[in-house]
Structure 1
């Protein structure tokens, strides 16, 4: 459907094999607990630079069988507190540099580190870094 992707990279009009409850990126393992409003560190490695940008969004899910929607993610953007270069807005970071094709295996990948702020006022029972609880969107 026009090259659009679902929330975890699956084709928007195809099977959603990457997502909860049985997707390949979903383990249901809680690796840490966070408080609303706390800061978290995120590191991103890129395979190619197509002159895009990053948004970081999160969807509070308390039932592992609930499907995460783009609407839920859009309601909970994460503010970028620190970024490698100045950001375009509090919620968007443009990837610096020039267009590159995919980087060959074994090469050093460009890595970027961010400090993000979790939304205030939400009760986070357990957030783990999987596609249905923590979502990284790159456009």
Structure 2
């Protein structure tokens, strides 16, 4: 449901028979969203970016954990994101969404700071989009808005 995602391929999936935890590793192919003026730098001039997503779904404890990292430009940048969806301690009918991200750019000289700010802004927008997509899926499944 994310417009920049071109394709998603599951490369590994297994269920731990003793715990019931479902593990998935997927590779997402995404459009390059770096502004065109920055793509004048040859290493940034790619049409697609690849992300690796690992997820663990524990239905018994009602927790889903995800780790995502960028596979493109690993020699220059680290972009990682960790998310957890779990039952709220306040109300078991609510879901808590916790997300952490890390951005680190190296070897770009004066552009390091600018690229880090762009990446942080993009990740923050991704959080908002992720929440919006989750709300839409819940509305489709249960038929009423969740506030």
Identify the TM-score tier after normalising by the shorter chain: under 0.3
What TM-score does the superposition give when structure 2 sets the normalisation length? 0.25
Higher percent of residues as helix: 2
TM-score (norm 1): 0.26
Higher RCO structure, 1 or 2 (CA under 8 Å, sep 6+): 1
Bigger proportion of residues as strand = 2
| Greater Rg by CA | 2
